[in-house]
Amino acid sequence: MGVTLPSRFKSPIHLTFLSILMLYSLSSRSQYDIIPKPKHVEIGSGYFEIKNNTRLAYKYFQNDGMNLLWNFVNYGLKIDLKPVEYEGNDYPENTFCFIHDDNVEDYEGYKLEITENQVLVKTGGFGGTIAACQTLKQLIFLNDGKIPVMTITDYPTFKHRGLLLDCSRHFFSAQTVKKYIDALSFYKMNTLHWHLTEDQGWRLAIDKYPKLQEVAAWRTEKDGSRYGGFYTKKEIKEIVAYAERRNVRIIPEIEMPGHSQAAIAAYPWLSCTGKQVEVANDWGVFKEIYCAGNDSVFTFIEDVLVEVMQLFPSKYIHIGGDEAPKYRWEHCAKCQKRMADFDLKDEHELQSFFISHIEEFLNENGRQLIGWDEILEGGLSPNATVQCWRGKEFGQIAAEMGHDVIMSPTSHCYLDYGLDAINVEHVYNFNPIPKELPKDKHKHIIGGEANMWTEHVPNDSVLDSKVFPRVLAMAEVLWSGPDTGYVEFYDRLQKHYPILDAGLVKYGLEAEPVMVSSKREKDKTFLVFQPGVPNLEFKYSYKDTNLLNHDIPYRVSKTLTQITHLDTTINYVDPIALNKTGRLDVQAYKNGEPYGTINSSEVVSHKALGIEPSYKTNFSKYYTAGGNSGLTDGLLGTHNFRDGKWQGFSGTDVDFTLDFGKEIEFQEVALRFYQYNNAWILQPDTIEIHYSKDNKNWNIFTILHGPMASEDRDKSIELIGDVYKNKTIKARYVQIFLKSRGPMPAWHEAAGSDSWIFIDEVIVR
């Protein structure tokens, strides 16, 4: 690539994230475009230019620290000079001077005083040195190899700034993990939360239990192929040291008591039943968990943790604690005896007993426990740090109890979710501090993490596309603080794409290019395109596709037809009348080039469009389908139940009424349901549809059973309802009552948990 570089930049190029400087003249730059945004910046005029004889000097640094610094700076900045220690009070010219300064309060804080003669770097500690280097690298990249004269005073808002990387559902190489450590450090994130054990794979070698690497690290996929891998101790030590040099600490997560089926496959005596199971090859929550009544299980876990602590110097050890179905414990004599012996009133208290035991062990070894927010259930010792995932409210409860809290709620921090649920702006709008948390408890919110679960991330490209650019928004929130101004952040973000390109990061989009919604105006419904990012143009095709044509009695199971090409395209100008039942395909364009892939929506024209149900039961705040008008907006959901089109009801029957305002005529009423028992979503037990002219006297339209068996594993969407071929109903009101199937049944991995009902549309024709 035709980039002219000054000679000192011509050392061998490693195409890693850190060699971005080699490519610094790729795009227009600005000194303001640092991510995360520094706390205070004063801009001067002119530049410090790196010359052949530019030196690197240091003062008041411990030797060790200086060695690390030098290795790091030399590698990152490609300044081909040995550092020299200097004395005296004048700072030498033409030099990067690194000074440890006790006045810089935060360990990760730093001050940059850049003049045309020198770059003075004052740091509070090693973390600050690394942060300062990363800022310098960004400045050099963003300003064509020069460093603008300016003063920066910078320090983090939150001390815990992390990314969870799940290397268990899918395995990622040591090299990939290092690339992520580089990226985290570059954006001033200081924690890699390394998820190493799961139902689907155990990823670290433990000498005392060799079957963990021989058996638990490998699964047989549904097609018969073998999948897996693990990190050797040598690799782990290297990765930990690599991270340390970049001010990234690695917190290993060793899951217990749930998500441990892979370990149980290797050593069946770890479970309540002792029966042989396979390493899981499906996603979800599994009921094979460690037995809490068997002392050898605790010996096993402690043995494992001893080796884990030898590998990872981190103060924190994450022990999971989430999603542990209690079904096996309820039916295990040993677990029940343990409960009786220790006067534990239920299985939640048994989980608490389990976690407390492990916590004591970690504390005795000088370490601290982190667990997912379920560890709050059944009581918890005050030393434990709680990582909140189910919702900010759990973080608030933990903080009010005096626990330190790491915030990573599904609402903003789950990078495995699609862009339709969590886009860059959404991540950027994350505030780790719950609104209602009293001021004196804010100190307990020590920071946050972006969580990268990898069930659906089979390779590095997909991984990159999910993590980037969203993690830059998370880095900004956690370092600079919430809400520094999205528009301005968005501009800065654009300047970082050449940096990511140079680091060979295959970043994804910032948002779904287009979200299709519908709006009601003067008794008509229109389809509206909402651009996900600025400056897009659209082409679309809207065609009748025979969608929902059916026989009686009916049950229609449909998948989106395969997308091929837009055969007729019309430039998008105005809202489109929703007047056909069929498919709307939209392609976004940016600067004349396709941006993202075709967005396909299935839409239904019917008589209830725009009629808002009046609800007797509440839908979940997480699955709203856009709110009260979501079930009659004409837009059907996809097999991604987080696509924003589905309305979900958890642990309840569903009861609502449509009021058409006047009598209308119809022959057909139907609802579309989602079922996916891995996600605890089931069709209703019963579907009752009634109609009335006066809201007092009701007639039965139909009563049906959800036809799909709960046991059915597939993701399925079905239209279920009824139609009168030879009769027309006249009514003003339609009432829908859906009886839930109740808790997940005994055979299910999550037996006893509330099931969901998911609906995307009520269709009246």
Nearer to Zn ion, 272 or 422 (CB): 272
Q: Is 322 a binder of ligand ACM (CB under 6 A)?
A: yes
Choosing from 180, 389, 428, 701, the residue that interacts with ligand ACM (CB under 6 A) is: 389
Number of residues that bind ligand ACM (CB under 6 A): 4
Q: Which helix (H) or strand (E) segment is 757 a member of?
A: strand 756-764
* CB contact at 8 A, 44 and 117: no
Q: Of these, 293, 378, 409, 721, which contacts Zn ion (CB under 5 A)?
A: 293
Is residue 749 a contact point for ligand ACM (CB under 6 A)?
no
CB of 409 to ligand ACM, least distance (A): 10
Instruction: Quickly count: other Cβ atoms within 10 Å of residue 480's Cβ.
Output: 21
**Per CB under 5 A, 291 contacts Zn ion:** yes
The per-type count for the chain, helices as H runs and strands as E runs, is 16, 36
Question: Binding of ligand ACM at residue 323 (CB under 6 A)?
Answer: yes
| Tally of CB atoms within 10 A around 256 | 27
Give 232-291 as a DSSP string.
-HHHHHHHHHHHHTTT-EEEEEEEESSS-HHHHHH-GGGBSS----PPP-S-S--S--B-
Q: Which does 272 bind (CB under 5 to 8 A by kind): ligand ACM, Zn ion, none?
A: Zn ion
> Residues 139, 272, 474, 502: which binds Zn ion (CB under 5 A)?
272
Question: Shortest Cβ distance from residue 229 to ligand ACM (Å)?
Answer: 22
Q: How far is CA 595 from each of CA 49, 225, 464, 568, 727, rounded to the nearest angstrom? A: 38, 35, 18, 18, 49
* Most distant pair of Cα atoms in the chain: their distance: 100
Smallest distance from ligand ACM to CB 327, Å: 17
From 236, 240, 265, 335, residue interacting with Zn ion (rule: CB under 5 A): 335
Of 635, 630, 626, 636, nearest to 613 by C-alpha is: 630
Which residue in the set 372, 479, 674, 680 belongs to the binding site for ligand ACM (CB under 6 A)?
Answer: 372
Q: By CB under 6 A, is residue 349 in contact with ligand ACM?
A: no
Radius of gyration, CA atoms only, the chain: 29
**Residue 155 interacting entry, from ligand ACM, Zn ion, none, C-beta within 5 to 8 Å by type:** none
Nearest to 129 by CA among 47, 62, 202: 62
* Span from 142-150, 268-276, 303-311, 745-753 in contact with Zn ion (CB under 5 A): 268-276
Q: Which is nearer to Zn ion, 203 or 328 (CB)?
A: 328
Partner touching 335 among ligand ACM, Zn ion, none, CB below 5 to 8 Å by kind: Zn ion
In the complex, minimum distance from the CB of residue 458 to ligand ACM, in angstroms, rounded to a whole number: 19
Residues facing residue 192 across a β-bridge: 163, 250
* 332 in contact with Zn ion (CB under 5 A): yes
Q: Which does 293 bind (CB under 5 to 8 A by kind): ligand ACM, Zn ion, none?
A: Zn ion
**164: enclosing H helix or E strand:** strand 160-166
> Which uninterrupted H or E stretch holds 360?
helix 347-364
Query: What does 323 interact with, of Zn ion, ligand ACM, none (CB < 5 to 8 A by kind)?
Result: ligand ACM
Residue 132 or 413: the one with the smaller Cβ distance to ligand ACM is: 413
Name beta bridge partners: 584: 542, 601
Pick the closer one to ligand ACM by CB: 417 or 529.
417
Distance CA 534, CA 538 (A): 12
Least separation in angstroms between CB 338 and Zn ion: 8
Is 752 buried (19+), middle (13-18) or exposed (0-12) by CB count in 10 A?
middle
**DSSP string over 660-675:** EEEEEEESEEEEEEEE
Rounded CA gap, 347 and 336, in Å?
A: 9
Q: Which stretch binds Zn ion (CB under 5 A): 182-190, 285-293, 434-442, 533-541?
A: 285-293
Q: By CB under 5 A, which span of 159-167, 251-259, 267-275, 656-664 interacts with Zn ion?
A: 267-275
Residues forming contacts to Zn ion in the complex (CB under 5 A) are: 272, 291, 293, 332, 334-335
Interface residues with ligand ACM (CB under 6 A)?
A: 322-323, 372, 389
